[in-house]
Amino acid sequence: MPDLLSLDATELAARIAAGAVTAEAATQAALDRAKATEARVGAYLLLDEAGALAAAREIDAARRAGKSPGPLAGVPVAIKDNIHVAGKPTTCASRMLQGFVAGYDATVTARLKAAGAVILGKTNLDEFAMGSSCENSALKQTRNPWDVSRVPGGSSGGSAAAVAARSAYLSLGSDTGGSIRLPASFTGLVGYKPGYGRVSRYGLVAFASSLDQIGPFARSVRDVALSLKVMAGRDAMDSTSHPAPVPDYPALLGNDLKGKRVGVVREYLDKLPNREVAGMCESAIARMKALGAEIVEITLPHADYGVQVYYVVASAEASSNLARFDGVRYGLRVPADNGIATYVATRGGGFGPEVKRRIMLGTFALSAGAYDEFYGRAARVRTLICRDFEQAFARCDLIATPCAPFPAFKAGEISDPLSMYLCDIYTIPASLAGLCALSLPVGFDSAGLPIGMHLSAPAYHDERLLSAAHALEQNLRADAALNLNRAPAV
């Protein structure tokens, strides 16, 4: 039998359901791997060994008693630490929430547990999910398992690093402008952002409420399909969740792209400075054509303004959402002479530099004298970006672009905030338009670092996107020269 850690979540769940592997053995293997790699990788803020093993033993006992184990029964899963797990800390990697313990499960957490998943622990992130490298955490530094001198991407860097390092089989992240897809590209994983409203946000600490979505990191597209089937669907606790029925995503995965029209933004590839990334994406697009797809050149004329629009809209929403952290109701409290002084001292001491930067930017954009000039104009350009995608999808079924401008960079290499913001230049437009989108590993650069390609489809057409990605993935993994089945050496 293959090493347990080499299995994807779908295969592991099947073996546990068949009694070939116990949930306890799989959980212990993941925990042992985490303990062996954490000193170098630093993916977890909390590793709940006792709780995970107890849950695994319950699953094994239920299976032996003849009860249905659930589609994810016994699969060890890690959760980004801005998503609530009842009875466990939710810190958002910030001093502001150190000591805060969640009183309830997020809807996604509850659905994972109901499906039999074993929660291993909580993973590191950029503070309040604000960052592209996972270097903004106030609590620890997470490294890329492919090269520990490099970043794993952000903001969901800990969740990506855990799956890449084989210390979890699946993990959850949140994606506001690229915070699942960028780390997936940097760490050689499939990272999925559902269309806005496809997965409930209840129990996710809000950053930008019109953009935030929860999604999985996985080793395969079929793992994404399985986890999405478990998590997606209407939730009465989230008024923005969509009522559309949830298809059987794993059953709808395809093996070819016949009849699919794939839109390609030619200028993205032609102007990309990193020619290795461009070349890998070009090669993957050629494979899509060989699998039966029709390649259609499209334009997204307003996508060039995506970064500017995003950092006005997202910062404005963050300014509003983070006003609740006032040193009175929960979290950090820095005592001072009066209420206002306490508020100022708490927020000054509790938030890190990047969070403060975005709160100030957002507060200014919403101020009386600047609202129309900044937030109002950004909202109008966002509408134009949405229209660009509507027009593009009238000509194609999917859109393929690079996911990141370059592979993972070294820790500390990018210190300028504006340069860091440009890491998400290819992922942000899909977020602004509410599309479903993913990063798919398509190769490695000359230094052995993973490269991901970005695929997107209209919201609530997840089956279309997943089926196409699965077909391409199978073709890529069959190519021994690409060696996409290898794991990092960490």
Closest CA to 134 of 169, 170, 160, 172: 160
Encoding tokens for residue 282?
Answer: 């070009």
Interatomic CA distance for residues 6 and 76, integer angstroms: 13
Cα separation, 108 vs 435, in Å, equals 20
Q: Let me know if 286 is exposed, middle or buried by CB neighbors in 10 A (0-12, 13-18, 19+).
A: exposed
Of all helices (H) and strands (E), which one includes residue 215?
strand 213-218
Cβ burial, residue 258 (10 Å; 0-12/13-18/19+): exposed
| CA–CA separation, 302 and 342 (whole Å) | 44
Name the active-site residue from 132, 133, 155, 227.
155
**Torsions phi, psi for 154 (to 5 deg):** -145, 170
Which residue of the set 94, 156, 179, 439 is catalytic? 179
Does residue 258 carry a catalytic annotation? no
Element (H, E) at 50: helix 49-64
Count of alpha carbons within 13 Å of 85, Cβ hemisphere only? 25
> DSSP assignment of 230-248, as one string?
HHBS--TT-TTS--S----
**Cα separation of 71 and 14, whole Å?**
8
Q: Dihedral sign, CA of 95, 149, 38, 173?
A: positive
Structure tokens at 228: 């999405």
Query: Tokens 């622990």 appear where?
Result: 121
> CA 192: distance to chain centroid?
6
**Would you tell me how many other CB atoms lie within 10 Å of the CB of residue 40?**
12
The CA radius of gyration of the chain, in Å to the nearest whole number, is 21
Is 80 assigned a catalytic role? yes
Please tell me the distance from the alpha carbon of residue 142 to that of residue 279, in angstroms, as a whole number: 29
Find the catalytic residue in 80, 88, 122, 229: 80
Q: CB 320: neighbour CB atoms within 10 A?
A: 16
Residues 6+ apart with CB under 8 A from 479: none
Closest by CA to 468, choosing from 247, 211, 198, 288, is 288
> Is 356 a catalytic site residue?
no
Catalytic sites, residue numbers? 80, 155, 179
